[in-house]
């Protein structure tokens, strides 16, 4: 009768004493690439509507092709027309793409996860696989798409129809290189953040970098610094399509892309072998109990507020979303009429941290929460209130910092800013609560790299939010020039009433026990 291997068997002891074979670098990379393919197929297999994903990819490819080609045939395109002005700033725009890619990846703790942290613990997923997966998911971000499309369109208009077909391969390789270099910097910063006193060092570094940039801007030298970046040689290669210059440029960019992708695996391994101190501090911390309020709503608000503000990705994301646009406003010296678009940008980004799937914050605790003897609308009101509080805090922080160089506003500008902030907050809170109720997802937001919904879904959410809030901000920007400050306030009344009515409709839907059961069983699976 066959039996299992015994530790007393000589052959078993000899085999166990032999060291396990170590894979070489080539085989390790090949295995990591294969694992990325397996994980991608796993993620695609969990898509609820595959046909919609195919349509989305097709639309994205068509839009990218149109942006890359059509501006070249517009009137004034090319270095001999109005495109010359765009051509002169193109090197700075290419350098800025790397900076923005690094900021986006660093804010998410090294890029998005192809496989969530808890499921990954039982699978042999190497840090190299994690690094490659983050690179693959980088384009599934509306900010990355807008930057890439802006760079493709600007290049097309700058070089014109004569050089567009030779220039766009250079830009395509530059997008890959910029994303890979941004990922390298993000992994380095994440590794530093995980050493003792690393968090304080990163915060100090951010202050120094922002201070230097602001000083250069005040001195009028920031543009000249960007003009001296080496990307201008790539721009010259776009309009001098000669074999002795163009081909070496393409080959050099391709080799640089491969080197940057491979280099990113090194800090990824270093960061993976260190403990995320900020996340561990939150999970292992102890918090003193406070007196129990008399109202169920206040208890729910306190619980939800703690779950949001103690989470590492929420705090880090709020600072990036609030200070990023504020820094741009400071460096660009925006006035109050232009600043009305800032609250929309901030709240549309802030709701993507957790607001598009707010019930996933409970996780398995949603089952316990549904057993409490409270009204179902109490939990809804508390969650909507905390979400609005989070978004308003980010908006006010952005406006406060951006106003340092804007001077005192006129009454109409101040009324337009208040109206825009109120309206976009109600719009975004209503959209977030509606999506959270209709399309819940199981997500664990303890990790700084986690997202409340799949990356492709997040792209759709962010595009819709950005469109609505930008239009709202531009509308209030126009009315900020009104002679009477009551005009923007009167404009805000019907818009706020409409958004409030939609929010109340979602609140009534949440009272349905069938709807709540579907949401709770979904988010409790995380």
Q: DSSP secondary structure string, 5-24?
A: --TT-HHHHHHHHSPPPPPP
Residue of 378, 383, 395, 358 lying closest to 296 (CA atoms): 378
DSSP 8-state secondary structure symbol assigned to residue 1: -
Q: Closest by alpha carbon to 468, among 434, 494, 495?
A: 495
Distance of alpha carbon 317 from alpha carbon 393, whole angstroms: 12
The per-residue pLDDT for range 211-262, each reduced to its tens digit, is 887 787 777 777 777 777 788 888 888 887 777 788 888 999 999 999 999 9
Mean pLDDT for 318-333 is 78
| CA distances in angstroms from 319 to 141, 149, 206, listed in the order given | 19, 26, 11
CB atoms inside a 10 Å sphere around CB 218: 13
Answer whether residue 104 shows pLDDT above 80. no
Backbone CA torsion sign across 100, 466, 315, 271: negative
SS3 337: coil
d(CA 504, CA 62): 38
Token pair in block for residue 503: 């929010």
Distance CA 24, CA 19 (A): 15
Query: Mean pLDDT, to the nearest integer, of 393-418?
Result: 88
Q: Residue 418 — very low, low, confident or very high, per pLDDT cuts 50/70/90?
A: very high
Prediction pTM value: 0.81
Confidence of residue 427 (pLDDT cuts 50, 70, 90): very high
Backbone dihedral angles phi then psi of residue 140, each to the nearest 5 degrees: -80, 60
Q: What sign does the dihedral 80-82-83-85 (CA atoms) show? A: positive
Give mean pLDDT, residues 134-155: 85
**Across residues 456-475, what is the average pLDDT?**
88
519: number of Cβ within 10 Å: 23
- Find out whether 238 and 167 touch, Cβ atoms under 8 Å: yes
Split at pLDDT 50, 70, 90, the class of 85 is confident
457 class by beta-carbon count within 10 Å (0-12 exposed, 13-18 middle, 19+ buried): buried
Q: What angle do CA 376, 378, 382 make, to 5 degrees?
A: 130
d(CA 109, CA 313): 9
CB atoms within 10 A of CB 292: 8
Q: Where are the alpha helices (DSSP H) in 403-485?
A: 411-438, 455-479
Taking residues 311-324, report their average pLDDT: 81
Answer whether residue 506 shows pLDDT above 90.
Answer: yes
Look up residue 101 and give its DSSP letter: H
Mean residue pLDDT across the chain? 84
C-alpha distance across the termini of the chain, in Å: 43
Roughly what angle, to the nearest 10 degrees, separates helices 312-332 and 198-218?
Answer: 10
């Amino acid at each position: 009768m066959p039996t299992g291997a015994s530790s007393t068997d000589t052959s078993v002891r000899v085999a166990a004493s032999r060291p396990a074979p170590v894979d070489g670098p080539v085989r390790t990379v090949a295995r990591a690439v294969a694992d990325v393919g397996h994980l991608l197929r796993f993620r695609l297999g969990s898509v609820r509507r595959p046909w919609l994903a195919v349509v989305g990819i097709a639309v994205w490819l068509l839009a990218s092709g149109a942006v890359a080609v059509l501006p070249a045939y517009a009137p004034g395109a090319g270095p001999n027309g109005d495109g010359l002005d765009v051509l002169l700033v193109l090197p700075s725009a290419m350098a800025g793409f790397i900076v923005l890619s690094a900021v986006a990846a660093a804010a998410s703790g090294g890029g998005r996860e192809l496989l969530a942290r808890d499921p990954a613990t039982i699978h042999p997923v190497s840090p190299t696989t994690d690094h490659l997966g983050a690179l693959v998911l980088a384009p599934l971000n509306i900010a990355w798409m807008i930057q890439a499309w802006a760079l493709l369109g600007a290049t097309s208009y700058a070089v014109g129809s004569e050089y567009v077909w030779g220039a766009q391969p250079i830009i395509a390789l530059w997008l890959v290189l910029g994303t890979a270099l941004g990922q390298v910097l993000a992994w380095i910063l994440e590794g530093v953040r995980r050493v003792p006193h690393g968090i304080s060092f990163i915060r100090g570094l951010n202050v120094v970098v922002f201070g230097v940039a602001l000083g250069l801007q005040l001195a009028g030298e920031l543009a000249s610094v960007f003009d001296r970046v080496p990307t201008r040689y790539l721009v010259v290669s776009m309009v001098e399509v000669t074999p002795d210059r163009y081909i070496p440029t393409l080959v050099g960019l391709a080799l640089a892309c491969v080197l940057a992708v491979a280099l990113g695996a090194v800090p990824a391994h270093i960061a993976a072998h260190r403990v995320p101190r900020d996340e561990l501090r939150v999970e292992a911390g102890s918090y003193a109990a406070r007196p129990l309020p008399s109202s169920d709503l206040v208890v729910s608000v306190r619980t939800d507020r703690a779950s949001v503000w103690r989470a590492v990705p929420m705090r880090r994301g709020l600072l990036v979303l609030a200070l990023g646009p504020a820094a741009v406003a400071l460096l660009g010296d925006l006035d109050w009429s232009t600043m009305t678009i800032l609250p929309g940008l901030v709240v549309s980004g802030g709701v993507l941290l957790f607001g598009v799937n707010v019930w996933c914050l409970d996780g398995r605790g949603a089952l316990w929460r549904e057993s409490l003897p409270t009204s179902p609308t109490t939990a809804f009101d508390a969650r909507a209130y905390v979400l609005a509080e989070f978004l308003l805090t980010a908006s006010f922080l952005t406006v406060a910092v951006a106003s340092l160089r804007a001077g005192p506003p006129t009454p109409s500008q101040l009324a337009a800013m208040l109206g825009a902030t109120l309206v976009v907050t109600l719009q975004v809170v209503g959209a977030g609560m509606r999506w959270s109720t209709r399309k819940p997802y199981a997500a664990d937001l303890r990790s700084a790299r986690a997202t409340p919904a799949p990356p492709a879904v997040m792209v759709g959410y962010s595009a819709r939010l950005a469109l609505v809030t930008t239009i709202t901000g531009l509308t209030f920007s126009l009315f900020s020039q009104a002679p009477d400050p009551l005009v923007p306030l009167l404009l805000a009344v019907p818009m706020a009433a409409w958004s409030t009515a939609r929010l109340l409709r979602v609140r009534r839907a949440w009272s349905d026990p069938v709807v709540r059961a579907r949401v709770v069983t979904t988010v409790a699976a995380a």
